[in-house]
Structure 1
Amino acid sequence: MKPARTLVYCLLLVNGACAKGQSATTATPIHLPQKTTTMITASLKHPVVKQAIDALQAGDLKAWNALFSKGASLWDDGRKIDLGHFSQEALGHERFTAIDKVAREGLDIYGRFHSDRWGDFKTYFKFYIDDAGKIEKLEIGQASY
């Protein structure tokens, strides 16, 4: 294998196999989290929350945006951030890999999460729904449970 190809392939190997002396052709490739919705959202019973998580999982920006009220706010670890910018950046690049806990009548979601930018971590999504059935506030952040 040419050195450039070996380097690229080594970047895709689990546990730094090339650095441990294995050849690039015998090391095990990394299995990245797959985009999925069915197994993740089956436990979600609140219809708006389920639609939002389904849209997030599918990377469907149009469906995601349609669920929010005009002027909706987004809070990330207690800091207000721009919902539009977050949505544009996150959809298609961030998703739950498992839902571990659902609380507050289905409005609070806790689970394992994958971000192409930040890696894997535990997170929470807390939804607040207005009288019209739209999301008026979403709180997200890293969770420890």
Structure 2
Amino acid sequence: MTIQPAKLSDPAVRAFVGAVNAHDREEFMSLLTPGATMSDDGSDRDLADWADREIFSSHGHMEVDNESGGGRVLLARYSNDTWGEMRTKWRFTVEDDGRISRFETSQA
């Protein structure tokens, strides 16, 4: 059963999923702290390069199946034009100002 993005518990994570699915690079970047970091399958990546390749130029889309950790851990079906669809886990670190300082994604 898919959770609609508008129903996600954490406001920063909700906005992140919305920006990914809308392919809104400006909104996506505004949700991140300066110097935000990320990892993909356990390896740190250049966030801007990764986001361009895995989300914006390849039409990335998240269908969230489950959330935990106060809404900061998601199980989602992630799809893009490069890899097709895969089950993924996303973990977010959200700062006091409501912006995301780190996210980690991996196959689930």
* Partner SS, residue 42 of structure 1: helix
The aligned amino acid for 2:52 is Q
Q: Give the whole-Å Cα distance in 1 for the aligned partners of 2:56 and 2:14.
A: 15
Distance 1:60 1:46 in 2: 19
Q: Distance in 2 between matches of 1:113 and 1:51?
A: 16
Q: Superposition pairs for residues 58-97 of structure 1, below 5 Å?
A: 58-89=22-53, 90-91=55-56, 93-96=59-62
RMSD of Structure 2 on Structure 1 (CA): 1.3
- Partner Cα distance (1:117, 1:91) in 2: 11
Q: Kindly indicate whether residue 90 of structure 2 is the aligned counterpart of residue 125 of structure 1.
A: yes
1:22 aligns to what?
A: none
Q: TM-score, normalised by structure 2?
A: 0.89
Deviation at 1:91, TM superposition (A): 2.2
- For structure 2, the residue ranges without an aligned partner over 5 or more in a row are none
User: Would you say how many aligned residue pairs link Structure 1 and Structure 2?
Assistant: 104
Unaligned 5+ runs, structure 1: 1-38
C-alpha displacement at 1:63, in angstroms? 0.1
Counterpart Cα distance in 2 of 1:129 and 1:140: 15
1-structure distance, mates of 2:61, 2:94: 21
RCO higher in structure (CA 8 A, sep ≥6): 2
Matched, 1:110 2:83: no
Partners of 2:64 and 2:39 in 1: CA distance: 20
Percent identity, please: 29
Task: Tell me which amino acid in the other structure corresponds to 1:125.
Answer: W
Tell me the amino acid that sits aligned with residue 103 of structure 1.
Answer: S
| CA deviation after TM superposition for structure 1 residue 113, in Å | 1.5
TM-score of the superposed pair, with normalisation by structure 1: 0.68
